[in-house]
């Protein structure tokens, strides 16, 4: 069965490469980029070889911990895992999880990132070559076991997060875990940098490395240092900790495979409704631009339900927080940036929200046919979508603006920051509305893994992301340059930033809805074909 699954994987990849030249280009580019890093890895190996064993062990432990965190977080925030063999696709074949789990586990290690990291950690184990042969053997084993925990941990993290975010009972626990993780990262960063970067590296990093060396995150990389110090048992139990963790992760992945085989895709919101929220919203007769038409209100009501109950939308809403949090809590202290750089955090949040909507039409593919058969109402449909985003995005951006102003105490610059944030949100939403209609690509369906990437959508997704990014780069200077001038030249530019930001943001939002709506009416048939 293992050979059959591996053959199926390679056959699937070969068909994808022949069908999509974008995928082949990305694969070749990734391989070439990985090879260009090999000389740097060998240089790091040589440099580490001349360090003392305790310093060498600490550096390798910190490096392994950072790589492990990347393997856990990046698939959740970016594109998901390479998933040519989604366990759920075997559900109709009636196979047992015990038969296909070994093949799927081995297939997880036969990806470009996994193979590259195995090469990196094997090369870095050569830094112990000046010690005894047993020390280097322990280093090789510890490095490979560490990579095994990374690969399997990524699979389990994606599987468990998908299950948790799709179930209301565990969704709160997932959000608490995310908040706890952010708090831990922020606390560690503060401890390291509270006395300055250099002092923190000298005092805190060794203690942190020693602590991580007793956990599965760094025990495998700490084992050779302990062995070189003469503590054989300390090295052995550390290797056993990492090996046991890898075994537990493999069993957890097998359990996730078994769950996927017997649980069909859940497409409901999980709640029993007494009133049809969509029709109730469409039937309101309030006047005004905000409630201009029944179709617009119906789409807005439907999208608000999705933003509050659909796992894919909830993950998207949480994902936009990552970049501004990393910039404010990590990059600013590490690089010792001027406090005025904190004003970029709300702009990063607003632009992340807006840019993320570049595939909003495909994400709502289950309601696309209903919108299309209702008639030529593209403008109302697109405006309803944008309004649903603004209902939560505008308060979130406002909270970020207020938080930065309270933290920095620069209240005189409030008009410029408010205008730039409003302009950024409106301009990016307008650009994304057009891109969502012109460059749609398949997205996970309701109830499916929100962290996954749909097979066959790679080329279209790259094109849409590049075009939407270029569109943002064109319009963002129009609303951010006045803020930069207010912070660097004269505070009077803040009022200019307020006016230009609000006006350009509103115009871009309305223009984006109009243009996207007109294209929506003309491309309705192509839209269905592109997202299904």
Domain end (from 237, 262, 287): 262
Do residues 382 and 520 lie in contact, with contact meaning Cβ atoms separated by under 8 Å? Answer: yes
Question: Do 258 and 333 reside in the same domain of the chain?
Answer: no
Q: Which of 47-61, 163-177, 192-206, 282-296 has the highest mean pLDDT?
A: 47-61
Domain count, the chain: 2
According to DSSP, residue 145 is labeled H
Residue 285 lies in a domain: no
Residue 485 lies in a domain: yes
Distance between start and end Cα atoms, the chain: 31
DSSP secondary structure of 413-458: GHHHHHHHHHHHHHHHHHHHHHHHHHS----PPTTS-TT---TT-H
Cα separations (Å) of 169 from 175, 435, 444?
A: 11, 35, 22
- The per-residue pLDDT for 202 is 63
* Nearest alpha-carbon partner for 368 in 516, 513, 532: 532
Domain end (from 262, 277, 312): 262
Do residues 279 and 305 lie in contact, with contact meaning Cβ atoms separated by under 8 Å? Answer: no
Q: pLDDT tens across 439-495, in order?
A: 887 777 776 666 665 555 556 677 778 888 888 888 899 999 999 999 888 888 889
Question: Do 248 and 352 reside in the same domain of the chain?
Answer: no
Residue 483 lies in a domain: yes
Question: Do 331 and 256 reside in the same domain of the chain?
Answer: no
Domain end (from 262, 277, 297): 262
Which tokens go with 344?
């970029």
Q: From CA 378, how far away is CA 522, in angstroms rounded?
A: 9
Q: From CA 450, how far away is CA 366, in angstroms rounded?
A: 15
- The per-residue pLDDT for 139 is 92
Question: Do 354 and 429 reside in the same domain of the chain?
Answer: yes
Question: Do 131 and 226 reside in the same domain of the chain?
Answer: yes
Do residues 207 and 114 lie in contact, with contact meaning Cβ atoms separated by under 8 Å? Answer: no
Q: From CA 83, how far away is CA 291, in angstroms rounded?
A: 42
Q: pLDDT tens across 297-355, in order?
A: 888 888 888 888 777 888 788 778 878 887 887 777 777 788 889 999 999 999 999 99
Residue 298 lies in a domain: no
Residue 283 lies in a domain: no
Domain range for 361: 321-531
Question: Do 123 and 211 reside in the same domain of the chain?
Answer: yes
CA 167 distance to own-chain centroid: 20
Question: Do 385 and 517 reside in the same domain of the chain?
Answer: yes
Residue 308 lies in a domain: no
Question: Do 167 and 36 reside in the same domain of the chain?
Answer: yes
Residue 290 lies in a domain: no
Question: Do 341 and 426 reside in the same domain of the chain?
Answer: yes
- Tell me the Cα Rg of the chain: 26
Residue 46 lies in a domain: yes
Residue 413 scores a pLDDT above 70? yes
């Amino acid at each position: 069965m293992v050979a059959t699954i591996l053959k199926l994987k390679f056959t699937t990849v070969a068909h994808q490469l022949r069908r999509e030249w974008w995928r082949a280009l990305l694969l070749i580019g990734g391989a070439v980029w990985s090879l260009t890093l090999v000389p740097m890895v060998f240089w790091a190996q040589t440099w580490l070889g001349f360090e003392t064993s305790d310093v060498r062990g600490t550096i390798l432990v910190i490096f392994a911990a950072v790589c492990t965190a990347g393997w856990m977080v990046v698939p959740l925030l970016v594109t998901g895992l390479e998933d040519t063999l989604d366990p759920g696709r075997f559900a109709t074949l009636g196979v047992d999880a015990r038969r296909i789990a070994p093949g799927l586990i081995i297939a997880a290690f036969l990806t470009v990132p996994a193979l590259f990291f195995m090469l990196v950690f094997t090369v870095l184990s050569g830094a112990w070559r000046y010690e005894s042969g047993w020390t280097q053997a322990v280093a090789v084993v510890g490095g490979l076991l560490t990579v095994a925990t990374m690969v399997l941990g990524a699979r389990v993290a994606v599987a468990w997060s998908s299950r948790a975010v799709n179930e209301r009972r565990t969704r709160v626990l997932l959000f608490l875990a995310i908040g706890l993780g952010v708090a831990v990262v922020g606390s560690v960063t503060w401890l390291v940098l509270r006395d300055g970067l250099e002092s923190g590296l000298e005092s805190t990093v060794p203690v942190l490395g020693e602590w991580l060396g007793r956990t599965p995150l760094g025990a495998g990389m700490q084992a050779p240092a302990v062995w070189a110090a003469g503590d054989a048992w300390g090295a052995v139990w550390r290797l056993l900790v990492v090996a046991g963790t890898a075994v537990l992760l493999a069993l957890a992945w097998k359990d996730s495979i078994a769950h996927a085989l017997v649980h069909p895709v859940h497409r409901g919101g999980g709640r029993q409704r007494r009133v049809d929220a969509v029709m109730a919203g469409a039937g309101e007769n309030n006047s005004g631009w905000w409630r201009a038409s029944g179709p617009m209100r119906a789409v807005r009501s439907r999208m608000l339900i999705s933003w509050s109950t659909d796992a894919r939308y909830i993950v998207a809403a949480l994902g936009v927080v990552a970049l501004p949090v990393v910039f404010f809590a990590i990059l600013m202290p590490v690089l010792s940036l001027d406090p005025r750089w904190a004003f970029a955090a709300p702009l990063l949040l607003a632009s992340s929200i807006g840019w993320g909507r570049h595939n909003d039409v495909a994400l709502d593919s289950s309601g696309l046919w209903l919108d299309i058969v209702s008639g030529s109402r593209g403008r109302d449909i697109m405006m309803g979508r944008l309004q649903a985003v603004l209902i939560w995005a505008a308060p979130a951006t406002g909270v970020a603006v207020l938080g930065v102003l309270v933290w920095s105490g620069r209240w005189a610059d409030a008009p410029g920051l408010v205008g730039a944030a409003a302009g950024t949100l409106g301009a990016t939403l307008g650009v994304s509305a057009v891109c969502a209609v012109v460059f749609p690509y398949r997205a996970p369906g309701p109830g499916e893994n929100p962290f996954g990437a749909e097979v066959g959508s790679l080329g279209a997704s790259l094109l849409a992301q590049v075009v939407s990014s270029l569109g943002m780069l064109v319009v963002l200077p129009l609303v951010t340059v006045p803020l930069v001038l207010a912070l660097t030249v004269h505070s009077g530019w803040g009022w200019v930033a307020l006016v230009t930001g609000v006006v350009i943001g509103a115009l871009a939002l309305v223009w984006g809805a109009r243009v996207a709506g007109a294209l929506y009416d003309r491309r309705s048939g192509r839209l269905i074909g592109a997202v299904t």
